[in-house]
Amino acid sequence: MPVQFPKHLKPIEPQGTALLQQERNNATFNSNDLTQFIYGDDYLKSKNRILQILQADPILGDKSHRYYNGRDVRFKKSLAAANRLVELTRIHEWNDQEFGIAEFLFDEPSPFRLHRSMFMPTLANQGTEAQKKLYLEPAIRHEIIGCYAQTELGHGSNVRGLETTATYQPETQTFVFNSPTLTSSKWWIGGLGVAANHAIVMARLISQDKDHGPHPFVVQIRNLENHEPLEGVIVGDIGPKFGFNTVDNGFILFKDFHVPHIGFLARYSSIDKATGEYKTPPNSKLAYGTMVFVRANIVLESRVVLARAATIAIRYSAVRSQGSNTSDPKKITAPDGSMKTVETPVLDYTMQQYRLFPIIAQAYACHFTGQEMHRMYYENQAKMERGDYSYLADLHASSSGLKSLTTTLAVNAIEDCRRACGGHGFSLFSGLGQFYQDYLPKVTWEGDNYLLTQQTSRYLLKTLRSIRLGKISQKNSTFSSSYISEYLSNPQAKCPFNSVQDLNNPEALVSAFKFRAAFLIDKAVHAIDVDQISWNDMLVDIYRISRAHCQLLMVSNFVQAVFNNKKPGNLGPVLQRVAILFCLSTLDQEAADFLTSGYLAPEQAMMVKQHLIQIIKTIRPDVVALVDAFDFPDYLLNSALGENNGDVYEKMVAMTEKEPMNQFKVADGYQEFIRPLIHKGKDNWKLDKNGIARL
């Protein structure tokens, strides 16, 4: 007999719904206006249409199983969902954007994920017309399913270290694939463990006894008739992970495995079929452009991750009451009309505000920076088509650091929000645990967040050196070179903050971030060029430089976007307050850099700390509306703590009733492992007929 909670019991007053309603009434702006402003009408329409389809779907509509099951059950359901998404895409003729929305709302990593995100794009970009016909066309119809096999058990970010070999044999006109060591096993390959029958494999191309380094091949790995691994291939799943367990990350090893000549992805380089002669690829910078686009999307995704975590924590903090804020106790009207002191919503505690509100500000900061990256991507593409590559290096460097910074912010935010939800944050019903686990890999893939910063900083150091050498003119100056030049013209500058008013001055804040970034760059160039400190010993500084530069970009983009032109409705003032909050909380968090540079004086740092608390207070009435504006449906959140109407405790209880262990009066394991202990004491018992000890 399943456990049931008494239906007549309500949570203690005041109720969550009323508390959230009150928060919404207090906002200084209409959250729908902000929703429109963030996403635009077209996106919202698509989203709502697709949401209806998913919620009504017999397979995708119900997420209630997600928190209870082990990997076996969850993976099988994930396969079912992947299959169903293919079907729905066909039925509704979803384009890539629409499919992306469905994927976002369904919110579970899929075994077919890499098929769409890597297998097909690689074929499209690096395949010849013949290869596209042979592989891409059936792939689009999901008649073959592919994955992208690059990483090896012993080799992650360093592609040049890959060991798998593909040796061309002119006699058979095939490439012979081999895995020479255990560490050469392809590893972590999403979709490979169970689902894929094809793979793009990065292998060292060897021909005419020469090693040409890693190249991409398309390879059939499983029998199309029955899905069994082909002879010469050992393939399987790499086992359980911290998250992402609905995906079959897999491994593969090759032993004298023959791949036909056409498997070599030959758009840029080629192997002569008869002789095995290798032709080198023409150098193309266009690929870097695409990377900027991918990273802009990652920044926009970080925005959503930050906002989603904040949505849950903010709404729950408005409902969760605890203790009493003695300086301002909360009162409600009791049924008899008198005022009654109740516990204080934790959202009223300054510490909670300090932990959560900057995360909202980060979400908005990522929004504006992601948009600016898209704009610059298109501008740069247009330039490159005209043969002008002058933007590319700057854009690529910044986008590397921004991927690192924003995904680090996002991943930390999920965990910070989870902890800010107190005990219940630890329940999977919070909707934050699996969210964290599934998002985590983002800090490692698409460029490790530490390694990436080297690209950013290397470019910035080079820029400073070029300025010193007089190689930068007005014509080829960039945002980066301008702020570095400015610093070099006055490296002894001091921060002009005299009063709290100055701390609300966006331009002054941006200037502080400029000075700090340029200072770090200058010191690093000095350390390397003058003090001869090795690159390795500078890695910590290198990381800091990238972070400082990217925080400057975010601060600058945010300020630019909200102070310089009119916003619809009442959005202007609140977005400006959020921008100032972002600047000040970032400045406070990085205060050591600003102080060490000599730009910020100790008293000014103290002023920032104090004013930050005040700015946080000015955001307080708007925080629920600010997260509401991101418009995440309950279907996405799947969170007892964070759903829209604030029925936190009712939802906790409803989810608890579904716990499999609660379906029986006495749980499995009692007979075997508890009863024998208890019944040892039987001789001492005096039990009544209800099994109660008589005392």
Q: Is 61 annotated as a binding residue?
A: no
Select the residue interacting with a copy of itself from 50, 54, 86, 271 (CB under 8 A): 86
| Per-residue x/- track, 505-544, a copy of itself (CB under 8 A) | ------------------x----------xxxxxxx--x-
Which SS3 state, helix, strand or coil, does residue 63 take? coil
Least distance (Å) between residue 521 CB and a copy of itself: 15
- Does residue 335 touch a copy of itself according to CB under 8 A? no
Please identify, using beta-carbon distances, which residue of 291 and 440 lies nearer to a copy of itself: 440
Select the residue interacting with a copy of itself from 240, 281, 491, 496 (CB under 8 A): 240
- Does residue 209 touch a copy of itself according to CB under 8 A? no
- Does residue 207 touch a copy of itself according to CB under 8 A? no
- Does residue 655 touch a copy of itself according to CB under 8 A? yes
- Does residue 234 touch a copy of itself according to CB under 8 A? yes
Select the residue interacting with a copy of itself from 54, 123, 136, 144 (CB under 8 A): 144
Of 177, 317, 362, 330, nearest to 252 by C-alpha is 177
Report the relative pairing of strands 210-220 and 174-178 from DSSP bridges: unpaired
CA dihedral 188, 190, 193, 197 (to 10 degrees): -130
- Tokens 């193309």 correspond to what residue? 284
Find out whether the peptide bond into 14 is cis, omega within 30 degrees of 0.
yes
Q: Which residues contact 443 (CB under 8 A, 6 or more apart)?
A: 407, 408, 411, 449
Q: Is 151 annotated as a binding residue?
A: yes
**232: its two tokens:** 């010469």
Select the residue interacting with a copy of itself from 298, 605, 615, 619 (CB under 8 A): 605
- Tokens 């400057």 correspond to what residue? 552
Binding residues for a copy of itself, how many (CB under 8 A)?
A: 165
Which SS3 state, helix, strand or coil, does residue 632 take? coil
Least distance (Å) between residue 483 CB and a copy of itself: 20
Cβ(325)–Cβ(312) under 8 Å?
no
- Does residue 124 touch a copy of itself according to CB under 8 A? no
Which SS3 state, helix, strand or coil, does residue 223 take? coil
- Does residue 665 touch a copy of itself according to CB under 8 A? yes
Of 623, 581, 636, nearest to 315 by C-alpha is 623
| Per-residue x/- track, 380-419, a copy of itself (CB under 8 A) | -----------------------------------x--xx
Residues 341-380 that bind a copy of itself (CB under 8 A): 343, 348-351, 354
How far is residue 479's CA from residue 463's CA, in Å, rounded to a whole number? 11
Active site residue 13: no
- Does residue 662 touch a copy of itself according to CB under 8 A? yes
- Does residue 650 touch a copy of itself according to CB under 8 A? yes
**Radius of gyration, alpha carbons of the chain:** 29
Least distance (Å) between residue 355 CB and a copy of itself: 8
Query: What secondary structure does DSSP assign to 452-503, as a single string?
Result: HHHHHHHHHHHHHHHHHTT---STT--HHHHHHHHHHH-TT------SHHHH
The window from 280-288, 382-390, 399-407, 602-610 that contacts a copy of itself (CB under 8 A) reads 602-610
How far is residue 38's CA from residue 33's CA, in Å, rounded to a whole number? 9
- Does residue 667 touch a copy of itself according to CB under 8 A? yes
The window from 98-106, 277-285, 486-494, 588-596 that contacts a copy of itself (CB under 8 A) reads 588-596
Please identify, using beta-carbon distances, which residue of 422 and 572 lies nearer to a copy of itself: 422
| Per-residue x/- track, 180-199, a copy of itself (CB under 8 A) | xxxxxx-xx----xxx-x--
Query: Could you tell me how far CA 427 lies from the centroid of its own chain?
Result: 21
- Does residue 581 touch a copy of itself according to CB under 8 A? no
Catalytic position from the list 343, 415, 446, 590: 446
Please identify, using beta-carbon distances, which residue of 390 and 618 lies nearer to a copy of itself: 618
Query: What secondary structure does DSSP assign to 559-600, as a single string?
Result: HHHHHSS--STTHHHHHHHHHHHHHHHHHHHTHHHHHHTTSS
Cβ(380)–Cβ(320) under 8 Å?
no
Cβ(324)–Cβ(652) under 8 Å?
no
Residues 270-329 that bind a copy of itself (CB under 8 A): 320-323, 325-328
- Does residue 211 touch a copy of itself according to CB under 8 A? no
Of 212, 161, 206, nearest to 183 by C-alpha is 161
Which SS3 state, helix, strand or coil, does residue 115 take? helix
Residue numbering of the annotated binding site for FAD: 151, 190
Supply the residues annotated as catalytic: 446
Residue numbering of the annotated binding site: 151, 190
